[in-house]
Structure 1
Amino acid sequence: MATITTTRTPRGAPAVPVTPGWARWVNDHRKWLFAAPAMVFVAALLVFPLAWTGYLSLTDAEGSVRAESEFVGLRNYLDVLSDTDRFWPAVGRTATFTVAALLFEVVLGMAIALLLWRPFKGQRWVRVAILLPLVATPVAVGMMWRLIFDPNIGLANQVLGWFGVGPQPWLAGQHSALPTTIFIDVWQWTPMVVLILLAGLTSLSEEPQEAARIDGAGTWQRFRHVTLPLLMPTLTVAVLLRGIDALKTFDLLYSTKGRGGGSFHEVETLNVYAYGLSFDYNEYGVSSTVLILFFLIIIGAMWALTARRKEARR
């Protein structure tokens, strides 16, 4: 016959509290529960505008946000995708601006970060001076460079005149406006790339560098076969952050060229084009269509850069 024994708590010993099941569940998932309110708030801020924009892109909304609109399906998408006068040139300018600005910023950022990597006299002040462009807002930077590149009173043409070079149109020229805005973007945002890459360089171990020196590797060989492979994850992060930011640039372009990206739409990117459709022509349906397509382009770019980052980690 089985004997049942009971365990009694010794007299004077503290009783062991019994934790309810729901309390254990809360304790096991506390990190998600603490983050849930912020996640829900951010999701609401993202989902509602995106859903409303997607709905407007399927209507002929125009004139006023309170005006009645009709459901037109994919007609706006077909019209926009067949627009070779404004939409596809804006896509080309967006790609040109993003790729050119990112290329120059990464190359210059890498070069400056390598120069600042090793200690030298006055290094602290040089770092502060390099980071100064990040202090100002893009609108203020755009207005400042707009005055510098003014064809009549701008400082840039005055400096060229000292060397016997005639005045240049800079932002006023149909073919020179986009390269000039790329230069302004590079001037302001290269320090951001420098900051990211310099943080990555300072975290690298010195042992691979010393081993390469002992083996007789030169400066370029050490950079190509040691420094760059070790820095690749950090470089991918810099490209990801700066590439997406350059793709969405609006304030700098609008502050330098104004409505429509100029008289000939010379710097009209997708952001500037969508803004003009909404606030200049009140074509909310078409503007929403452009924004949805632009959003898909950004998602595609993020996916491509993220996939490249995963390959770099391997």
Structure 2
Amino acid sequence: MTVTVPDRLPPAERVSRWANDHRKWLFSSPAIIFTVLLIAFPIGWTIYLSFTDSFGSVRAPFDFVGFDNYVTALTDTARFWPAVLRTVIFTVAALAFELAAGMSIALLLWRPFKAQAIVRVIVLLPFVATPVAIAMMWRLIFDPNIGFANQVLGWIGIPPQAWFSSPATTLPTLIFVDVWEFTPMIAIVLLAGLTSLSDEPDEAARIDGANAWQRFWFVTLPLLRPVVLVAIMLRAIDALKTFDLLYAVKGQGGGSFHEAETLNIYAYTLSFQYNSFGLASAVLILFFLMVLISMWLLTLRRKEKP
């Protein structure tokens, strides 16, 4: 027996049926609208400003100048390319140390032991505080006159260091602070991956006579590789866009000699110190493209792995 549906339904019934047929779009539309308003629109406006000579105020009249801002940025060997180099050095160095330290901590916390919960809480403490608070704390510790770091060096006969005051030591010290703060993040991600691994491959390698290093390098690490790549991707994105730590320590321009001026600091200085919004927008778009390309390469690397 077939059931016939009347051609003319009450308006409320038609609306109800339409909503049921399109429910996936109705439920997801608030998130889509929110994403468009808070992400797509600012990016689109920044792209638009990057093709103009906007200066002084975003409300001031400006003209369309094409790719002039991009040419100016890409040919700037005094500020732009040194900022690119510092951004790469900061990201790669911080990520390398954090990955090595995070893996070591994760391996130490992997197997159960007494007071394991307390140790995990202690390891997570640096990650709890905000980057600005961390920066102010380490500024006091590394203060060349009253800082505790130079006092410790004096106890062992090493002369005081400039730390954040010298162009030669500023970036390495900032990398150290970033490693101290964000290593727990890598450790927690890797620890979650380690706890999800099966014990059977490790036990089989142990029975075959493999030592601890061989079991880690040839068994544990290959199994953990997808988690490692995810941790690298997440932390690389975060390290590339580091701003609060650098600004809290060195301020606009990244210091008197721009020794801590990454692309984020450079774009901020162009916007809020020089009021060159067109050029700053071009720098931000170039930086955005660099991040996208880096993430694309990491994604390809992840897909190549079994």
Residue of structure 2 equivalent to 1:201: 194
Task: Flag structure 2 segments of 5+ consecutive residues without an equivalent.
Answer: none
Residue of structure 2 equivalent to 1:291: 284
3-state SS, counterpart of residue 83 of structure 1: coil
Q: 1:44, CA displacement in angstroms?
A: 2.2
Residue of structure 1 equivalent to 2:225: 232
RMSD: 2.2
Aligned amino acid, residue 188 of structure 1? E
Change (3 A) 1:173 1:70: same
Map Cα deviations across residues 113-137 of structure 1 (whole Å, 9 max, x no partner): 0011011111111110000011110
Number of residues of Structure 1 aligned to a counterpart in Structure 2: 302
The two structures have a TM-score, normalised by structure 1, of 0.91
The two structures have a TM-score, normalised by structure 2, of 0.94
Task: Flag structure 1 segments of 5+ consecutive residues without an equivalent.
Answer: 1-6, 10-14
Change (3 A) 1:17 1:240: farther
Matched, 1:162 2:155: yes
Residue of structure 1 equivalent to 2:273: 280
Matched, 1:149 2:142: yes
Matched, 1:242 2:221: no
C-alpha distance in structure 2 between counterparts of 1:126 and 1:16, whole Å? 67
Map Cα deviations across residues 38-91 of structure 1 (whole Å, 9 max, x no partner): 122112211111111111111111112221111111111111100000000000
Task: Please point out which of 63, 68, 74 is paired with 1:75.
Answer: 68
Residue of structure 1 equivalent to 2:49: 56
C-alpha distance in structure 1 between counterparts of 2:126 and 2:23, whole Å? 42
3-state SS, counterpart of residue 176 of structure 1: helix
Aligned amino acid, residue 214 of structure 2? Q
After TM superposition, what 4+ stretches of structure 1 lie above 2 angstroms from structure 2? 15-33
Residue of structure 2 equivalent to 1:12: none
Map Cα deviations across residues 149-190 of structure 1 (whole Å, 9 max, x no partner): 000011100111111111000011111000000000000000
Residue of structure 2 equivalent to 1:309: 302
Q: 1:31, CA displacement in angstroms?
A: 3.8
C-alpha distance in structure 1 between counterparts of 2:21 and 2:100, whole Å? 47
Task: Please point out which of 60, 67, 77 is paired with 1:84.
Answer: 77
Map Cα deviations across residues 214-251 of structure 1 (whole Å, 9 max, x no partner): 11111011001110011011111100000010000000
C-alpha distance in structure 2 between counterparts of 1:311 and 1:254, whole Å? 38
Change (3 A) 1:220 1:21: farther
Identity, % of aligned positions: 65
Aligned amino acid, residue 191 of structure 2? L
Residue of structure 1 equivalent to 2:165: 172
C-alpha distance in structure 2 between counterparts of 1:262 and 1:44, whole Å? 35
